[in-house]
Amino acid sequence: MKAIILNKTGDLKNLNENINLVNYSLPELKSDEAIIKIKFSSLNHRDIWITQGLYGGIKLKCILGSDCSGIIAKPSKHSSKFEIGEEVIINPSLNWGINNSHQIEKGYKILGMPDNGTFAEFVIINEKNIFKKPDYLSFEEASVLPLAGMTAFRASMIKPIINSKTNVVITGIGGGVATMCLMFLKTKTDNIFVTSGDDSKIEKSISLGAKGGVNYKKSDWINNLLDLTSGNLNVIIDGTGGDVLNSLIDKISYGGQIVSYGATLGAINNFNMNKFFWKQLTFMGSTMSSDMEFKDMLDYCNYYKLKPVIDSIYNLDEYLNAFLKMAEGKQFGKIVMKND
């Protein structure tokens, strides 16, 4: 089969040497594993960081990719859960453990590193990680749902307490998780606000249901946000970190909640602990989700018929263009790759 493997890590200018589309032999199935013929896969920032060596536990010659949709090519030997040809997606969260609150300390993994992932014609995975594709979603739409959907669901629906009057700020709108947060939060409140360094992304967010947004690259962005929210910043769903989050902590309302699922802008400099405890703030870390929450996320999407946002679709052999677009950070929604 064709597969995109990691040859070495390094600078993005050498991406054509770091990753390659090669012929790869499928290993033998274990009794509890099934083979999925992949129709579409989608990129995550994680894939870019792995190529740069900015991720733990890197294994060379590994097939990258965590998301996909497809059909069952070969069911597991000891299960009749799925039949050949059945339309499915996968849960890329491996070995979460028994606690919904957090993953196990050792042994937890995400598909696509160090285990072979989905940027290929086929993927082998334990059948417990396979789920029926939502009927209302196309294959390309379903392929972008797993990692971004589960991360967004936990960060926006499980962690914070939100009602119809809550003002919620989503930072860094445009990425797959942030746009999925917008989709989920629309079912809870109309008071959703976004930040971005790109005005066009703010406009797209408003067209999808956000109440307003601000460009954090403008000097008065935080005051503009306070004007939009009438001075009430109740919940922040953050995937950026850095100075943007620091400014929001400074202005968040008393009793506010902050959920952090990433730090694309880096560490928070000059973190003010005094405001943190004096304002009675709640700061929650969040990543991926438990197996139960993944199922809950799918049920929630099915109930509300939520559709993830797709930015662009590339053929598998155009993988370098897809990776470089992700690295540029100019996408709005998910970048998808199509198998022939």
**Burial environment of residue 91 by CB neighbours within 10 A (0 to 12, 13 to 18, 19 or more):** buried
d(CA 53, CA 115): 16
d(CA 30, CA 28): 7
> In this predicted structure, what is the pLDDT of residue 178?
97
- Residue 340 predicted with pLDDT over 80: no
Give residue 62's region: left, alpha or beta (phi > 0; psi -120 to 50): beta
Angle at 178 between CA 111 and CA 280, to 5 degrees: 105
Which residue type, as a one-letter code, is found at position 101? S
141-169: buried (b, 16+ CB within 10 Å) or exposed (e) per residue? Answer: bbbbbbbbbbbbbbbbbbbbebeeebbbb
Give the residue-averaged pLDDT of 42-61: 94
Give the residue-averaged pLDDT of 159-187: 97
CATH superfamily of 151-285: NAD(P)-binding Rossmann-like Domain (3.40.50.720)
Angle at 307 between CA 116 and CA 70, to 5 degrees: 35
With cut-offs at 50, 70 and 90, classify the pLDDT of residue 270.
confident
With cut-offs at 50, 70 and 90, classify the pLDDT of residue 267.
confident
- What fold is seen in the domain 2-145+308-338? Quinone Oxidoreductase; Chain A, domain 1 (3.90.180)
Bridge pairing between strands 212-215 and 87-90: unpaired
- Residue 155 predicted with pLDDT over 80: yes
> For the chain, where do the domains classified as CATH 3.90.180.10 start and end?
2-145+308-338
215-252 tens-digit pLDDT: 999 999 999 999 999 999 999 999 998 889 989 999 99
Torsion of the alpha carbons at 16, 21, 27 and 30, rounded to the nearest 10? 80
**Residues 6 or more apart whose Cβ sits within 8 Å of residue 15:** 51, 320, 323, 324
Give the residue-averaged pLDDT of 95-112: 95
> In this predicted structure, what is the pLDDT of residue 211?
98
> In this predicted structure, what is the pLDDT of residue 90?
98
Task: Determine contact, residues 169/248, Cβ cutoff 8 Å.
Answer: yes
> For the chain, where do the domains classified as CATH 3.40.50.720 start and end?
151-285
In this prediction the pTM is: 0.96
> In this predicted structure, what is the pLDDT of residue 269?
84
Give the mean pLDDT of the chain. Answer: 95
